Structure 1
């Protein structure tokens, strides 16, 4: 990258809150194809504009990476909604040795200031937010990934009711591979295409699932061409939040992609929160859709193409 001109952009800051130069490089674990901030060389950026994530460990980790990537004296502009970490930004940046000016605009806190000369205070936050082996799950994961340090109860319920699968399949929104780990223990499975929009999850899944029958892809399931067609089965625990707000269309898009990718007679196994209205969508797109179980605030469906 051109160190004289390159500015980093992280997290798609609102356009009205920050001016981003044309030569900016996008860093985002949730934007397939964007660069990885973790691998950005120290002192390689002339500036950074970032929308900080809401999770404390993830936010401190990402801000520390951004500061490390800045050239000496280069400026960081970091913002967050007041109720999603913005009120804590000033304290966190001060702990990194930063001297920042702070403003408030449209329910955001915005802090601007130069990279500190001493980068040693960043190491702890970078280590704390990096990928690790989680003892409770036995899986590699990273703060910021969905259900990063625990088993999601919806996925756990799905595994209780999942039959022996066979043939070619997919795990849509695979996360770090909790469902895939169980699927790959089924000897009749020939292929499992694992797809997730979170780069960190895909990289963790590659460490967790080493079976050659499994493939991992960093992609947005909603876009065509992300998974094979003519599949025998699909398993999924689809997301229903986008940017912190509930978006029921996300899960519905996953259901559509599954219907398009399964062969006739192929089966979809879906877990969803009880309040999410997937029944009509499933019945429209599939020849048959059955409620298999309902417990602990979740529903399990089997749908046949």
Structure 2
């Protein structure tokens, strides 16, 4: 992996609550979930004076981020890490101590806040970094990485859509493409001339670009709701409905509106979602025809005609 120095000495990973930490005005963003951010794992060793991390909930992903954070902070530099107590925060101090750091821990607004001065000594970071790095997973036969949605399995919703998706044709997009499961299925049709995958997660986009080697496919690290495309023949999507671990039904509804904006009249939208999500009213308002193609095992598959 190529390493590079940043044009800023201070950085932040994610969006920590502003009332809990003071960030330098010139702190650069490193989150893979904020398009346009720099990459933490691409930073040179000891290239930062300070780093603040809003720690991810998953243990493999979190330790990977902590390991790279400690690698990127210069000896004597400051690392601040925080997370809700019930979403990994209770483990932060122990994990940082396992890396060989002395930790000052405080607790405020249900968040554990850990502060570390990067030691001069070499730290045992390699195992955590390796465990959270991209991997070609045997069970999937795809490149993936801890932290990406459904990183170690085919989720049931996508499996339903893949099983029932007919041969598509023309130009289309996958809103929230993830590792590329649905794009791969769409590209089995020789009538598909192009498909663009959009995802808010840089890691997912990078994995998908390795998983799909087809000149008809393109990949975009961007908010899928702001795709900027129109007059397409088809849209496929298994949209997210959580933000920061909290159910946010409006997110999927926004994906539906974005799908309609992308389609020509007569274009088709294939959507899979958890049964309880209230998408029908938005679909009926945006599309001329909506049909439920399957409803079982807690998931529903819908076809909508623009």
Shift of 1:45: 0.2
Alpha-carbon distance between aligned partners in 2 of 1:190 and 1:21, rounded to the nearest angstrom: 47
1:155 pairs with one of 146, 155, 158: 158
2:214 pairs with one of 211, 214, 220: 211
Alpha-carbon distance between aligned partners in 1 of 2:119 and 2:133, rounded to the nearest angstrom: 22
CA RMSD of aligned residues (A): 1.1
Decide whether the 8 Å contact of 2:10 with 2:27 is kept in 1: yes
Where do 1:115-126 residues align within 5 Å?
Answer: 115-126=118-129
Where do 1:11-26 residues align within 5 Å?
Answer: 11-26=14-29
Report the TM-score when normalising by structure 2. 0.97
| CA shift in 2, pair 1:181/1:118, >3 Å | farther
SS in 1 for 2:65: helix
Matched residue, 2:268:
267
Alpha-carbon distance between aligned partners in 2 of 1:99 and 1:142, rounded to the nearest angstrom: 29
Alpha-carbon distance between aligned partners in 1 of 2:6 and 2:299, rounded to the nearest angstrom: 50
**Runs of at least 5 residues in structure 1 that lack an aligned partner in the other structure:** none
In the alignment of these two chains, the number of paired residues is 302
Alpha-carbon distance between aligned partners in 2 of 1:181 and 1:162, rounded to the nearest angstrom: 12
Decide whether the 8 Å contact of 1:68 with 1:119 is kept in 2: no
Where do 1:1-305 residues align within 5 Å?
Answer: 6-223=9-226, 226-305=227-306
SS in 1 for 2:19: helix
| CA shift in 2, pair 1:2/1:158, >3 Å | closer
SS in 1 for 2:285: helix
Deviation per residue, 1:47-105 (Å, 9 max, x gap): 01111000000000001101100011111010010000000111101110010110000
After superposing the two structures, state which structure 1 stretch, 5-14 or 25-34, moved more. Answer: 5-14
SS in 2 for 1:80: strand
Decide whether the 8 Å contact of 2:241 with 2:248 is kept in 1: yes
Shift of 1:228: 2.2
Deviation per residue, 1:180-230 (Å, 9 max, x gap): 11111111000001000000000000100110100000000122xx24211
Alpha-carbon distance between aligned partners in 1 of 2:187 and 2:135, rounded to the nearest angstrom: 22
Deviation per residue, 1:242-283 (Å, 9 max, x gap): 010000010000000000110000000000000001111100
**Runs of at least 5 residues in structure 2 that lack an aligned partner in the other structure:** none
Alpha-carbon distance between aligned partners in 2 of 1:118 and 1:12, rounded to the nearest angstrom: 29
| CA shift in 2, pair 1:2/1:268, >3 Å | closer
Alpha-carbon distance between aligned partners in 2 of 1:180 and 1:149, rounded to the nearest angstrom: 18
Report the TM-score when normalising by structure 1. 0.97
